[in-house]
Structure 1
Amino acid sequence: MEIFNDFKINIYFYGKDKYNLLNKSINKNISIIEDISELRKIQDSKKNDQINILILSEETVDINLDLGRYFDDIIYYDKLMNYMFNMSENIYYKNYDYNYLLKSLEKSESKEIDTIVVGNSYPLTGIDTNLLKFNSVNLSLSSQDLYYSYKLAKLAIRKNENIKRCIIGAGYYLVNHDLSKSKNEYSINMIKNVYYPLLKDKHNSDKVESIEILSIASLLNDNTLEYIFDLDFLDRYFKDLIYRDNNGYFNKNFTRNMNSMLGGVKLKDIIEEDKNKLGKLRSEQHNKLSKYTKTTYEYSLIFNEFMEFLSINNIEVVIVVFPTTKYYSKFLDEKYEYEFYKIVETIKEKFEVTIVDFSKSDIFIEDDFIDFDHISEIGSCKITQQLNNIIAR
């Protein structure tokens, strides 16, 4: 950066700003070249202690001149914007859950938002906020436990007094799952890559390694571009663009089937015997949680604290238990349901809570699921419409 202190830097732009980003993303004063005939004047007026840099929109002008004769450096604007967008896209999807949740939290600050959805992969796959009657944002993520649902809801509500409703998506094992105590690689990475960077909260994790949050500036490592452009603005702008274009968690780059244990294979294409075997394997993953009695006790307290916070802030509470296939539900430990409702009944004695339990509903068919306990796009539409009818009463 020393050269920028020793010389006066003159920055010029030639062409059309088809991205409408120039005035928003430039750190320094910039001169617009209206006509190519101005080049001679620019060259003649240059002094020895000056550096002339041209930002050229190469896709909007047709020019045969050797511009290197007139400028010390040329930045090809369109190529650069496309390059930085592609870079942002790679950064975004490399830590997708972090960037999705970051942008969803930012969206939750909008005064138009009156409803938030929190929870694990059940509400993530099962509620379509684009179809929900309310102006809502989905803060759910796969394996999100009640502790982090509470932390996210608290953060969103404290930053936006217009939020009036919190939908908590759940399975019956809601108070039996502590993400921070899980030893599998996926759970450890969720704390390390998502919740700790966002919330600075590791909960019960023994140790969490800090990660570098990648950005355009850190990857470009270009002094000239950093001097001229507000790279932090461009980083936010492109990520906002990706988030808005995706219009939800699932999109062409991150499909719903990527969240399925069946990898896109439809339930109807699996023989009955295998459905039972696979459904049992899936339920056993959740049945193992029942042995963690300390977690159940702690999370029962967290549940109460969460409800108290929502009550104090006059937030309408809707707890949704999601449907699963019979191949999963018949093998799930029955005491989960008993413990869940025992806690819920205690909570309902103190707080006003709406419980919507789809697990006993007979309106769902196999096509409503992408695997044994996750909802398909069709099923999501069905659940969201049901919620519109129930909550609007």
Structure 2
Amino acid sequence: MKKSIKNLFYFCLPLLIIYVGLEIFLHSLDYEPKTKNEYLEKNKNNLEILILGASQTERAINPEFLDFNSINLAASSQGIYPNFCLFKYFAPKLPKLKIVVLGMPFNAPNTPKEYTSPIVNHLNLAFYNVNTFGRATMPQDYLLFHSNQDYFSSRIQNYFRDGNYSNLNKFGYDTTRFYGAYQAANYNIGKINKSEIHIENEHNSKAIHNNARYLKKIIRSCKERNIKVVLYSSPTHFLYNEMRDTNLVYERDSLVKNLMEEYENLYFFNDEDNSGFEADLFYNANHLNPIGAKKASSNLKTFISKIIDNPKSF
């Protein structure tokens, strides 16, 4: 029996060493959360704006063009609950925080916390040390390769093909993400297949209730520190907007209206129907490319400047 256990140990030991080495290697690569956290740690005493949200907000706002000391922690599929977790962890560490921007596209209130990609939860834990899983952490939660073997295998392949080349600026924003469905169609609307546009139009009353609760916690916490909260919906292309469930739009707008009536530190900047964003500013139907992000960031900067200079005008 002892000999069998010993043989099993010697068999497993090389595999364990390989896996540990793999995790160390994966943690050494560049990721948006890693770069963002490095910038945040270096500048936390001067940051004035904290941006949270899902991929639409992540792609729309490049802090380079805000003219405020800002950090954008938005990430793909990151719903209101994980954003609440990030806010709860980081806001107390930012003594000069004036504005919290929270992505609020039309379907955000209906998006349950389970929608958040496991990769995002693992990266949040690995580089921010923030648990956004919605449960107690388990040992495997700290492992990157475990969360999505296909994705991290591709990262390894890219490393050996291109090296650890980073497309990220110092804020962790990807400045090269142009090639999506719209560039593939040469920005010709007639060549864009609407059936390939992905949109989440699912109603979820439980999610609305839970998300409203987390929103109120963020807003109340900010109010105690005299911090303003901006709910933000980034520009989306008219083809995408035509596909929105109007009931979900109404639910989002009603929730925001009720919250604004209750909290004087809350504002809503809805830029999603902005006709000034033509096809060549989009990556796909609901995400901007870096040029579109420059314009969207400028729009948000103007809005924020107004509420700082003259909050009673809203």
What is the TM-score when the length of structure 1 is the normalising length? 0.60
Task: Find the counterpart in structure 2 of residue 174 from structure 1.
Answer: 108
Task: Find the counterpart in structure 1 of residue 60 from structure 2.
Answer: 126
Q: Call closer, same or farther: CA 1:93–1:107 in 2, change over 3 Å.
A: same
- 1:182-212: CA deviations, max 9, x gaps? 3xxx812322343477213421599783324
User: Unaligned 5+ residue runs, structure 1?
Assistant: 1-86, 215-241
Kept after mapping to 1: 8 A contact 2:183/2:280: no
Task: Find the counterpart in structure 2 of residue 191 from structure 1.
Answer: 121
Kindly indicate whether structure 1 or structure 2 has the higher relative contact order, using CA contacts under 8 Å at least 6 residues apart: 2
- 1:95-153: CA deviations, max 9, x gaps? x24423432542452x2211111111112111121110211111111111111212212
Task: Find the counterpart in structure 1 of residue 235 from structure 2.
Answer: 323
Matched, 1:156 2:90: yes
| Match of residue 184, structure 2, among 254, 265, 282 | 265
Larger radius of gyration: 1
- Which SS does the other structure have where 1:287 is aligned? coil
- Which SS does the other structure have where 1:209 is aligned? helix
User: Unaligned 5+ residue runs, structure 2?
Assistant: 1-22, 146-164, 307-314
Matched, 1:136 2:70: yes
Task: Give, as a single letter, the amino acid of the residue that structure 2 aligns with 1:149.
Answer: N
Task: Give, as a single letter, the amino acid of the residue that structure 2 aligns with 1:187.
Answer: S
Task: Give, as a single letter, the amino acid of the residue that structure 1 aligns with 2:169.
Answer: N
Kept after mapping to 2: 8 A contact 1:122/1:170: no
Q: In the TM superposition, what is the alpha-carbon distance from 1:373 to its structure 2 partner?
A: 0.3
- Give the Cα–Cα distance (whole angstroms) in 2 for the partners of residues 92 and 271 of structure 1: 43
- 1:309-330: CA deviations, max 9, x gaps? 1111211111211121122111
The correspondence of residues 1-393 of structure 1 with structure 2, limited to 5 A, is 91-93=27-29, 96-107=31-42, 109=44, 111-179=45-113, 181-182=114-115, 187-195=117-125, 198-203=129-134, 209-212=140-143, 246-251=169-174, 255-257=176-178, 260=180, 262=181, 265-266=184-185, 268-269=187-188, 271-272=190-191, 274-279=192-197, 282-283=198-199, 286-288=200-202, 290=203, 292-351=204-263, 352-393=265-306
Q: In the TM superposition, what is the alpha-carbon distance from 1:390 to its structure 2 partner?
A: 2.1
User: Could you say which structure has the higher helix fraction?
Assistant: 2
- Which SS does the other structure have where 2:66 is aligned? coil
- Give the Cα–Cα distance (whole angstroms) in 2 for the partners of residues 372 and 267 of structure 1: 13
- Give the Cα–Cα distance (whole angstroms) in 2 for the partners of residues 263 and 250 of structure 1: 20
Q: In the TM superposition, what is the alpha-carbon distance from 1:91 to its structure 2 partner?
A: 3.6
- 1:258-291: CA deviations, max 9, x gaps? 7x4x39524524644x432222xx12xx113x1x
Aligned residue pairs total 263
Q: Call closer, same or farther: CA 1:263–1:160 in 2, change over 3 Å.
A: same
Q: In the TM superposition, what is the alpha-carbon distance from 1:360 to its structure 2 partner?
A: 2.4
**Same amino acid, percent of matched pairs:** 19
- 1:199-236: CA deviations, max 9, x gaps? 1342159978332479xxxxxxxxxxxxxxxxxxxxxx
Q: Call closer, same or farther: CA 1:206–1:297 in 2, change over 3 Å.
A: farther
Q: Call closer, same or farther: CA 1:178–1:243 in 2, change over 3 Å.
A: farther
- Give the Cα–Cα distance (whole angstroms) in 2 for the partners of residues 251 and 339 of structure 1: 32
Q: In the TM superposition, what is the alpha-carbon distance from 1:366 to its structure 2 partner?
A: 0.6
- 1:367-393: CA deviations, max 9, x gaps? 111101001122111111122222212
- Give the Cα–Cα distance (whole angstroms) in 1 for the partners of residues 74 and 55 of structure 2: 7
Q: In the TM superposition, what is the alpha-carbon distance from 1:88 to its structure 2 partner?
A: 8.8
- Give the Cα–Cα distance (whole angstroms) in 1 for the partners of residues 142 and 86 of structure 2: 20
Task: Give, as a single letter, the amino acid of the residue that structure 2 aligns with 1:277.
Answer: S
